[in-house]
A and B are shown apart, each in its own frame.
Chain A
Amino acid sequence: MRIKHEIWAFAFWVFVFGCSSSGSSGGADGVIQDYGNNDAVGADQGADMVTFRGVFMDFQSKSPKEGVDLVLLNNDTGEPFDLERYPPFKSGKNGKVELILPAGIFVGFKSSGKDTSGFFEFKTTYLFHVASDEQDRNIYGVNILTYNAALSTAFVKLVDPKTLGHLAGTVYYVNEKGEEEFVGCLIVEVLDENGNRLEEEKDQDGRGIFAAVRYFDTRNDMPTSLQVSSMTHKYNSRYMVANLPKGKYTVRAKMKDDGSVLSQVTVMAFPDSITIGNMYLRWPEFPSNPTPERDECIGQEPQ
């Protein structure tokens, strides 16, 4: 009888701890998502702290996902950012992520694993250059289905997933109203840490096996061969760079016409994973969307 009582008591506390993820002092489940006070993990009494608010989202469907494993990263090294203070955690309800972070820094996120439904499994995805004081930031993860599909349509060969990784992103023009538009007639090039431009290497079938830059097919939002799409389009300005060894890279978006560099982002590639590196051309620096008014820059309209 007594044993039974103790089991119930134990079960009760397991339940209580299991449910009250917010405000607990770290651990694996749903931890760092709602720090309502500075006593919470992440609070640093000696520095100015800010609350970061974001939403974990599936990169393709743009729908928030709950329960996905997240790790806060050092923006410069790609290593975990103070594991003791910021242990791995899971995205909360509706993908909610809230952290108390030091002000004025940039961080990165690593996401992986399944969401709570079990239907959506995420390939290890890295996202960098996230300002610690952002309030409405989307933290994208790439669904393993999207990842598999993208690699099969991009006319690249997965030479060695254990050592090579991939980059992907979108070049956006952010207009006066703050709306994001795609930008056409851009080409993307990738440079290594020493500033050397990387050239694609192909196998005997023409599949990219190293530094393969690909653009997306406007009709189905999937990366495709360079024969089908050799630049970005106004209906889709996503890119991917497949098969890169671990390291730091700079991705540049250039106008196809004159080769002028409009934007660039520095990101890290990690083996068997994908790193997201979006680029933003913002108003008023760019008074209008720089897409030239030519049919080839528009792309084929999805039908």
Chain B
Amino acid sequence: MHRARASISFLTTLFLIGSAPESRGDEGTLRITGYVQNQTGIFIAPDKTRFETFDGYPYPTNHGDKFGKLSMLRNTFLLDADYKPFSWLGFKAVFRGVFGPSLSADAEAQTPNVPGGTKWPQKRQEYVAEHFYNRAELREVYVDLRPHKYLFIRLGRQLVGWGETGQYRLLDVINPVDSTWHFGALESFEDQRIPLFMLRIVVDVPWAKGGLDTVYIPMAPYLDRSEDTVTVPLTLVGAWGLPISPRQGDASVSSSKIRKRIFEYPDQRLQNGRAGVRWLGELGPLTYSLVYFYGHQLSPPIPKYYVTGDFSGVDVTLDFPRQHLFGFSVQSVLPFPLSTMLRAEMLFEPDRTYPCYSELKMPYKPPTPEDPTNIAKFVRKEKFTINYALTVQQPLKIRPLNSAEVFVLALQFYHSFIPNLKASSLERCASAEGDCILEIPGFDSTLMRKHHFRLGGSLQTSYLRGIITPRFRFAWVFAANGFMEDFKDGGALLSIGVDFALKNFKVGVELNEFLGKDPYFGMGFFRDRDEVNLKLRYQF
């Protein structure tokens, strides 16, 4: 009896934190749900692209010129089918088709085979539309087996979320992300995660008040496309991607110099398999998890080779190094203040690979009389990195504003820390002094510092039994120099919106503002992406 209760409690916990294999549909019935949706956004930021002339060259000092242009126009059709012929057997398939036009804002996309910069805008726009805005895919297809009450097996293309820190991901280490059509924090993670073919086995261990969750991603040929096994680099798109790089050192590899970007995606072979294990358990009032995962660094791609030949410009190859990850989470609901939920999540990356200041390269293969190709190797560094996030969620009763429903306030603090970082500066990096590692490859302006702080939060309530749901969200990225130093130089995302739901229809409108003093650091990369966004959905 005690064991049975523990097991039920454990499964309930799994369900509550949203990462469990869910048991959907009644036995013997086929359930099909889905929606059609249109999402349209218009840029409203007045920023203009500006240049400075240095040594005879114009270099961008700001990015913009998007006012009044479409930020997105995405039409989605999603079908979700569940079939459970027996209590021990279930099937699931999710189809998603998206289609939309090419956007003029994608002229800035730094696509793999179009030389860097802004020339040939149409080619860039077409590439983005073809690869990211128009896709039909069977996202999830898997079979569920429950051969024993303590054993659950899922095989197929699926999503697994071990983390609960949203945009910061932390323990959400398994599925890569595609946030090419909109700013990641403004879209649901369910939609952005890229499913992978994997075998998942969950074993309940009732006597230990926990369970073991194991995942194996075989990376076998034909199961997944190589490029879908990593997070889509944001240089590949323009509307919601990174702008072209500003003036950097004369010997740096800025986007205008690049002829081709060659991504060495992880090969589909068994040696590239990924695997992980999580223990999820209860300890008194606490729910905790311990995680280990061995996979690839999903983002960003790390520059590997710098190649020149008898062609104009340079080719850059990038890859996704292997990586070990360890972490844990602790979660509890406090009795006071009422229903306060606290969660801490921590991730250790003992061998995280960072790209370096782009001038730092080493000769690898010089040109010879027989072969004019010259290859240099970009310097990269592995650094032990610690990340953690603290989340507090608090329901609030604010009667003057809403006497019927509660407000839900969520706050999240994130801190990333590289203990053995030898801090440097751009001037010192020109002489390779210190650890000249970057946050974003290709942007020497994003020199990594020892600490990285972010603060985020949301406030949400609903009226008329959920018909009207207003919400406010914010994120603050602290300035380059730390937690409080140069506070005003930080960047922010502010989002205010309201959803209207009536029967099967849902309409949402949102105003999203991005603030950032430096256009090539933190939230400043998106300071020209302020937008109004409208979402229409019919659910069935």
Question: Residues on A close to B: CB < 8 A?
Answer: 58, 60-66, 115-121, 143-146, 148-149, 151-155, 157-160, 181-182, 207, 217, 219-222, 224-225, 228, 234-236, 301-303
**A-contact 0/1 string along B216-259, CB 8 Å cutoff:** 00000000000000000000000000001000011110001100
Interfacial chain A residues near B310, Cβ < 8 Å: 152-155, 207, 225
Q: Are B372 and A207 in contact (CB under 8 A)?
A: yes
With CB as the reference atom, state the residue of chain B lying closest to A63.
Answer: B430
Q: Are B363 and A146 in contact (CB under 8 A)?
A: no
Q: Are B362 and A148 in contact (CB under 8 A)?
A: no
Q: Report if B314 contacts A (CB, 8 A).
A: yes
Q: Are B374 and A151 in contact (CB under 8 A)?
A: yes
Other contacts beyond A153-B308, A224-B312: 11, CB < 8 A: A63-B359, A66-B431, A117-B433, A118-B432, A149-B308, A149-B314, A151-B374, A152-B372, A219-B257, A220-B314, A235-B57
Interfacial chain B residues near A302, Cβ < 8 Å: 57-59, 117, 256
Q: Are A157 and B433 in contact (CB under 8 A)?
A: no
Knowing A143-B251, A302-B256, say if A65 contacts B374 (CB, 8 Å). Answer: no
Q: Are A303 and B256 in contact (CB under 8 A)?
A: yes
Knowing A145-B363, A158-B368, A158-B369, say if A63 contacts B431 (CB, 8 Å). Answer: yes
Q: Are A157 and B369 in contact (CB under 8 A)?
A: yes
CA distance in complex: A224, B250 (Å): 17
Using a Cβ cutoff of 8 Å, how many contacts connect chains A and B?
Answer: 123
Q: Report if B313 contacts A (CB, 8 A).
A: yes
CA distance in complex: A187, B359 (Å): 30
User: Which residues in window 279-320 of B have CB below 8 A to A?
Assistant: 306, 308-314
Q: Are A61 and B367 in contact (CB under 8 A)?
A: no
Q: Are A153 and B366 in contact (CB under 8 A)?
A: no
CA distance in complex: A154, B309 (Å): 8
In this complex, which of A148, A217, A236 has the most chain B Cβ atoms within 10 angstroms of its Cβ?
Answer: A148
Q: Can you report 9 residue pairs joining A to B where beta carbons are below 8 Å apart?
A: A63-B251, A117-B432, A145-B363, A152-B309, A152-B310, A219-B256, A219-B312, A220-B257, A303-B116
Q: Report if B39 contacts A (CB, 8 A).
A: no
With CB as the reference atom, state the residue of chain B lying closest to A209.
Answer: B369
Task: Say how far B241's CB is from chain A's closest CB, in angstroms.
Answer: 17
Interfacial chain B residues near A121, Cβ < 8 Å: 363
**A-contact 0/1 string along B147-167, CB 8 Å cutoff:** 000000000000000000000
Q: Are A119 and B256 in contact (CB under 8 A)?
A: no
With CB as the reference atom, state the residue of chain B lying closest to A115.
Answer: B431
The number of residues on chain B lying at the interface, defined by a beta carbon within 8 Å of a beta carbon of chain A, is: 42
Interfacial chain A residues near B201, Cβ < 8 Å: none
Q: Are A62 and B250 in contact (CB under 8 A)?
A: yes
Q: Are B373 and A220 in contact (CB under 8 A)?
A: no
In this complex, which of A146, A158, A207 has the most chain B Cβ atoms within 10 angstroms of its Cβ?
Answer: A158
Q: Report if B361 contacts A (CB, 8 A).
A: yes
User: Which residues in window 120-161 of B have CB below 8 A to A?
Assistant: none
Interfacial chain B residues near A64, Cβ < 8 Å: 430-431
In this complex, which of A149, A158, A160, A235 has the most chain B Cβ atoms within 10 angstroms of its Cβ?
Answer: A149
Interfacial chain A residues near B360, Cβ < 8 Å: 119
Q: Report if B494 contacts A (CB, 8 A).
A: no
Residue from B116, B117, B244, B312 in contact with A217 in the complex, judged by beta carbons closer than 8 Å: B312
Q: Are B372 and A148 in contact (CB under 8 A)?
A: no
Interfacial chain A residues near B308, Cβ < 8 Å: 148-149, 152-153, 222
Interfacial chain B residues near A207, Cβ < 8 Å: 310, 372
User: Which residues in window 328-364 of B have CB below 8 A to A?
Assistant: 359-363
With CB as the reference atom, state the residue of chain A lying closest to B252.
Answer: A61
Q: Are B312 and A228 in contact (CB under 8 A)?
A: yes
Interfacial chain A residues near B257, Cβ < 8 Å: 219-222
Interfacial chain B residues near A154, Cβ < 8 Å: 310
Knowing A149-B308, A152-B310, A157-B372, say if A120 contacts B432 (CB, 8 Å). Answer: yes
Residue from B119, B252, B367, B431 in contact with A152 in the complex, judged by beta carbons closer than 8 Å: B367
In this complex, which of B251, B252, B309 has the most chain A Cβ atoms within 10 angstroms of its Cβ?
Answer: B251
CA distance in complex: A207, B371 (Å): 12
Knowing A117-B432, A117-B433, A228-B312, say if A145 contacts B367 (CB, 8 Å). Answer: no
**A-contact 0/1 string along B418-443, CB 8 Å cutoff:** 00000000000011110000000000
Q: Are B366 and A148 in contact (CB under 8 A)?
A: yes
Task: Say how far A125's CB is from chain B's closest CB, in angstroms.
Answer: 15
Task: Say how far A287's CB is from chain B's closest CB, in angstroms.
Answer: 19
The 7 closest A-B pairs by CB, nearest first: A303-B117, A117-B432, A63-B430, A61-B251, A152-B374, A119-B432, A220-B257
Interfacial chain B residues near A58, Cβ < 8 Å: 251
Q: Report if B118 contacts A (CB, 8 A).
A: yes
CA distance in complex: A221, B251 (Å): 9
Task: Say how far B109's CB is from chain A's closest CB, in angstroms.
Answer: 13
CA distance in complex: A284, B11 (Å): 86
Q: Are A61 and B430 in contact (CB under 8 A)?
A: yes
Q: Are A117 and B431 in contact (CB under 8 A)?
A: yes
Q: Are B312 and A153 in contact (CB under 8 A)?
A: yes
With CB as the reference atom, state the residue of chain B lying closest to A158.
Answer: B369
**A-contact 0/1 string along B47-58, CB 8 Å cutoff:** 000000000111
Interfacial chain A residues near B363, Cβ < 8 Å: 121, 144-145, 148
